[in-house]
Amino acid sequence: MQADLPLWVPDREILEHSPMAEFIAWCGTRFKASFADYDAFHDWSVSERGHFWTAVWEHCKVIGEPGERALVDGERMLDARFFPDARLNFAENLLRKTGSGAALIFRGEDKVSYQLSWAELRALVSRLQQALKAQGIGVGDRVAAMMPNMPETIALMLATASVGAIWSSCSPDFGEQGVLDRFGQIAPKLFIACDGYWYNGKRQDVDAKVRAVAKALGVPTVIVPYAGDSAALAPTVERGLTLADFIADFAAEPLEFERLPFNQPLYILFSSGTTGVPKCIVHSAGGTLLQHLKEHRFHCGLREGERLFYFTTCGWMMWNWLASGLAVGATLCLYDGSPFYPDGNVLFDFAAAERFAVFGTSAKYIDAVRKGGLTPSKTHDLSPLRLMTSTGSPLSPEGFSFVYEGIKSDVQLASISGGTDIVSCFVLGNPMKPVWRGEIQGSGLGLAVDVWNDEGRPVRGEKGELVCTRAFPSMPVMFWNDPDGAKYRAAYFDRFDNIWCHGDFAEWTPHGGIVIHGRSDATLNPGGVRIGTAEIYNQVEQMEEVAEALCIGQDWEDDVRVVLFVRLAQGAELTEQLSREIKNRIRSGASPRHVPAKIIAVADIPRTKSGKIVELAVRDVVHGRPVKNKEALANPEALDLFAGLEALKS
């Protein structure tokens, strides 16, 4: 594989007949415009945002009334209003299909497998909708769910959205305090929980946690059957009832949809919470719908009937992103549990059996498959797979190469990046452009993405802050419990006046792509030079002896020194020889400034529920500062491994 050649190039069929190509041609006709190439179209989508988002609405046939104005801009980003006169309902747009075709296909490890047709999904949503109304739940009320990624969760979200209520979810592996830190802030009117879940082949009991959370929230609780005994659990839960009892009095009837303003709150998502109580980020129905339609239909090229998969839990915004695939008529493939049970082939088994067109996962998963010695390209029929997406952390250049060498040689690989803050992507795949090793293909349509230096000037060929310089529809409506907007402004607009600063350390490439070098708040500053942690991980995690790494900057002698923690592969030891090899690898692959002053082996590395390593929390522990919200972590006990290390005292 030659480094100076792209890994993938779109063929003539894609360039002329993909949904993106069709959309560009349609916009040219609709707005009497001419676009020399994709870049010209992207420029138009930013400079003519009113026309562009009108085009998304019309071309994707959004159900609702758009009103006469697509955009009322303001002097400041926060003053902008998209479709201020529109009326729509999110669920109505996701449930436009009916019939016997599969809408949702589910696997819960090797324990549970079933699917719902479009007609069955609509019937279940109808019964749930009536049950919610009977509970007095309507516009603006909150519904909170601690649920696996299963069909009932999608149906419950759709029923909530159909009546204009606000949905918020987390996964059932959250601890009691972690759940209350989130849902306790938003005062839900209904709590939904499962009766257990499967992970790594074992049933995970949640009975005590459900009882404690339900008691603390003090609202009716619906218990959904999955891995336990909901009929036995429900009577022990304060104001508890089973899902069957919740909908028992209601037969499926024609659905009713409450059409509401474009900016009506739809979701409350939560920040990771590793530096304090999680922020409650409120997203709108209209902004979420349009942004996801754009990403699914054009950037991912999804067509009606194709199979869309993302490995995610209900505590990660990729679940919300996945759910929106229904709006283009795609069949959602849902998986809950360990991606390595009973072995590392389980997701590829699912992909082959259900003929995924789009397979979404994390960079960490791709690296784990590589290090596990798996080669799905040799063991699985992935012929329908045309797009693989990766997010959660930057995908290394070696990860790019492995996808083409070990998974599928002719797939479009799209590394994507955005986040909970925008419930979507700033930079992502583009079917009209080549895929280059280690690069995200470019910025999303309609988004004025750029990279700025510390002086607030755009830069090329050097690293800086990822920013967005113009308003976009999926900006949060607000933060919950932030009446004057101070927390919202501080989160995104404090760094540069009237410019969204996303908190990613990024760099444009000569091909017009983007490289994310890590989070800005986790960048290292030895000698006053900013270094992205991803640049170090890209080198060290390719070594077979290293399973995983985490890097921080330690305050030292009026400067900062780079400290690298490594979780070694089974049987490996951190000898002086291996330490030298790690340093040489980093020196030659990155730069001498990236070479750590200290390398320390640890038994585990702390990460969030969605699998992201927590550099800031480790840095706090190393410096003797308290970690404010350990409940946000999947393995909080791992933080103890970093406290009081003798090796960091000299």
Strand 424-428 to 442-443 pairing: antiparallel
The helix/strand/coil state of 19 is helix
Of 517, 534, 558, the position where a domain reaches its end is 517
The residue assigned the tokens 């304090």 is 276
Q: Tell me: pLDDT of 362 over 90.
A: yes
Residues in the chain: 650
Using CA atoms, how far apart are residues 598 and 649, in angstroms rounded to an integer?
A: 11
Strands of 500-508's sheet in order across? 449-452, 464-468, 500-508, 514-519
Task: Indicate whether 592 pLDDT > 90.
Answer: no
In a domain, 111, yes or no: no
What CATH number is given to the structural domain containing 551? 3.30.300.30
Confidence of residue 58 (pLDDT cuts 50, 70, 90): very high
Which among 114, 334, 110, 313 is positioned nearest to 200, based on CA atoms? 110
Q: Which two tokens stand for residue 109?
A: 């490890």
At what angle are helices 576-589 and 533-540 packed, to 10 degrees?
120
Q: From 517, 549, 575, give the residue that closes a domain.
A: 517
Q: Residue 505 belongs to what H/E stretch?
A: strand 500-508
The conformation of residue 76, written as its DSSP 8-state character, comes to S
Structure tokens at 553: 């900057």
Residue with the two structure tokens 């929980």: 193
pLDDT band (50, 70, 90) for residue 515: very high
Q: Strand pairing partners for 387?
A: 358, 412
507 with 359, same domain: the answer is yes
State residue 209's pLDDT score.
Answer: 96
Same domain, 486 and 461: yes
State whether 468 and 535 are in the same domain. no
In this structure, is residue 105 part of a structural domain? no
Classify residue 569: in a domain, yes or no.
yes
**Higher pLDDT, residue 557 or 408:** 408
What does the pLDDT read at residue 588? Answer: 85
User: Hey, is 269 helix, strand or coil?
Assistant: strand
Q: Give the pLDDT confidence score for residue 198 in this predicted structure.
A: 97
Contact 164, 140 (CB under 8 A): yes
pLDDT (mean) for 255-277: 89
d(CA 386, CA 390) in angstroms, rounded, equals 14
Together in a domain, 431 and 480: yes
Rounded to an integer, the average pLDDT of 428-444 is 98
The stretch 205-228 carries a mean pLDDT of 98
DSSP secondary structure string, 184-200?
HHH--SEEEEES-EEET
500/436 same-domain check: yes
Residues 6+ apart with CB under 8 A from 644: none
In a domain, 4, yes or no: no
Contact at 8 Å (CB) between 393 and 613? yes
pLDDT at residue 2 tops 60: no
Residues 449 and 544 in one domain: no
Tell whether the model's pLDDT for residue 1 goes beyond 60: no
User: Which residues, at least 6 apart from 29, have a Cβ–Cβ distance to it below 8 Å?
Assistant: none
Residue 327 lies in a domain: yes
Tell me what pLDDT residue 366 has.
95
- Do 388 and 401 fall into the same domain? yes
Model pLDDT, residue 591: 79
Same domain, 294 and 399: yes
pLDDT tens track for 102-121: 999 999 999 999 999 999 99
Which residues have a Cβ under 8 Å from the Cβ of 370 and sit 6 or more positions away? 398, 399, 402, 406
Please report, as a single letter, which amino acid is at residue 570: Q
In percent, the amount of the chain with pLDDT more than 70 equals 99
Nearest-Å Rg of the Cα atoms of the chain is: 24
Say whether pLDDT at 589 is over 70.
yes
Q: Band of the pLDDT at 273, cuts 50, 70, 90?
A: low
Q: Region 285-307: what's the mean pLDDT? A: 98
Tell me which of 472, 497, 517 is where a domain ends: 517
From its phi and psi, is residue 624 left (phi > 0), alpha (psi between -120 and 50) or beta? left
Same domain, yes or no, for 441 and 345? yes
pLDDT (mean) for 569-595: 91
Q: How many domains does the chain have?
A: 3
pLDDT of res. 115:
98
pLDDT of residue 530: 75
**505 and 528 part of one domain:** no
Please determine, for residue 392, whether its predicted confidence score (pLDDT) is greater than 90.
no
CA angle 363-326-183, nearest 5°?
Answer: 70
Residue 275 lies in a domain: no
Return the pLDDT at 523: 77
CA distance 335 to 150: 7
Pairing relationship of beta strands 500-508 and 478-479 according to DSSP bridges: unpaired
Q: Is residue 273 part of a domain?
A: no
pLDDT of residue 504: 93
* pLDDT beyond 80 at 232: yes
What percent of the chain lies above the pLDDT cut of 90?
A: 87
**Any bridge partners for residue 309, and if so which?**
333, 359
What is residue 531's predicted lDDT score, i.e. its pLDDT? 80
Three-class HEC string of 328-364:
HCCEEEEEECCCCCCCCCHHHHHHHHHCCCEEEEEHH
* 107 inside domain: no
Q: Give the separation between CA 646 and CA 508, rounded to whole angstroms.
A: 40
Q: Are residues 242 and 329 in the same domain?
A: no
Question: For the chain, what is the mean pLDDT?
Answer: 95
Beta bridge partners of 104: 116, 332
Helix axes 151-162, 118-134, angle to 10 degrees: 50
Mean pLDDT of 461-487: 96
CA angle in degrees (0–180, nearest 5) for 465-470-363: 45
pLDDT for res 205: 97
Helix or strand (DSSP H, E) at 126: helix 118-134
99 φψ region: left (φ > 0), alpha (ψ -120 to 50), beta (else): left
For residue 3, what pLDDT is reported?
Answer: 59
CB 20 within 8 A of CB 431: yes
Instruction: Tell which wins on pLDDT, 9 or 611.
Output: 9
Q: What is the mean pLDDT of residues 47-62?
A: 98
pLDDT at 393: 85
The C-alpha atoms of residue 475 and residue 643 are separated, in whole angstroms, by 38
Q: Count the helices and strands in the chain (H runs, E runs).
A: 21, 32
The residue segments making up the domain with residue 579 are 522-648
Domain of 327: which CATH number?
3.40.50.12780
Mean pLDDT of 237-252: 98
CATH code, 172: 3.40.50.980
Residue that has been written with the tokens 């930013």 in this structure: 46
Helix (H) or strand (E) holding 547: strand 546-556
| 132 in the same domain as 76 | no
529 pLDDT above the threshold of 80: no
Give the largest Cα separation in the chain, rounded: 71
- How far is it, in rounded angstroms, from Cα 213 to Cα 337? 22
